[in-house]
Structure 1
């Protein structure tokens, strides 16, 4: 997937993009803003590494974090919704996961949850199990998956 094509589609549709990232630490926003002219469609990126940041910057509810943990589709949904609510964007992607090392029996290394919010539509969430190829590989794979989610949404006319 070509990031320039993603940005061109967003520009042609008049769509602004926001990102809400945890385990990727801004890698999606960086991939988008590496391209000259991206300021026409990239509104902002939120790096919310801690639970407190997720709550303060995106409005993720403490109840959701307590009930499901930071690495959950429920939190990914609230992150994506919060990114839309707290930006000028019409399209937002969120990422929360366990890049490693570590994890647990219930939340293994390589589990990453994504949210995709489009103004006026229900927010889509999914979880990808990338396995344990190492922290860098998980983070890169999560970045690429998020970019693909944005591209797919724009291809569908988000």
Structure 2
């Protein structure tokens, strides 16, 4: 069983719902989960907030944090994961799990951080965790690895 399949199965066992917020992965995490049969039972939806202002407007990321550190920061990833839980809420209840990705896939860095800098986060009602990585490779491989690692982080959190 693949990791996305395991994630969908685990969420189904728990009766939990999922939201996904993506920046550098541009929908890859969401697409990977949607590829799993039965994902509609657990997946509420997702937000691709590629532009910095959308991270604040759609996901509630603190504008002061974004101004001070930019969109590629561990606390931004955490706030994105927490924010997507609220954004995809159903019946007034937040999603049980939020996954978020932010980083720099390259080939150049707009803010001076090294290409391959990635921050992933998972948030639940019990708390959140962030994983910061330095991935190697071209743009496509960095994005693919970040998406895979985000799913693995969610599995570890559950």
TM-score normalised by L of structure 2: 0.91
For 1:96, the equivalent position in structure 2 comes to 102
Identify which of 132, 145, 149 aligns with 1:127.
132
**1:1-158 alignment to 2 at 5 Å?**
1-88=2-89, 89-103=95-109, 107-119=113-125, 121-131=126-136, 133-154=137-158
TM-score normalised by L of structure 1: 0.91
Q: Does the aligned pair in 1 maintain the 2:19–2:84 contact within 8 Å?
A: yes
What root-mean-square deviation, in Å, do the aligned CA atoms of Structure 1 and Structure 2 show? 1.4
The number of equivalent residue pairs is 152
The 1:51–1:12 alpha-carbon spacing in structure 2 relative to 1, beyond 3 Å, is same
- In structure 2, the gaps of 5 or more residues are 90-94
Q: Does the aligned pair in 2 maintain the 1:71–1:96 contact within 8 Å?
A: yes
Partner SS for 2:127: coil
Structure 1 residue ranges, 4+ long, deviating more than 6 angstroms after superposition: none
- In structure 1, the gaps of 5 or more residues are none
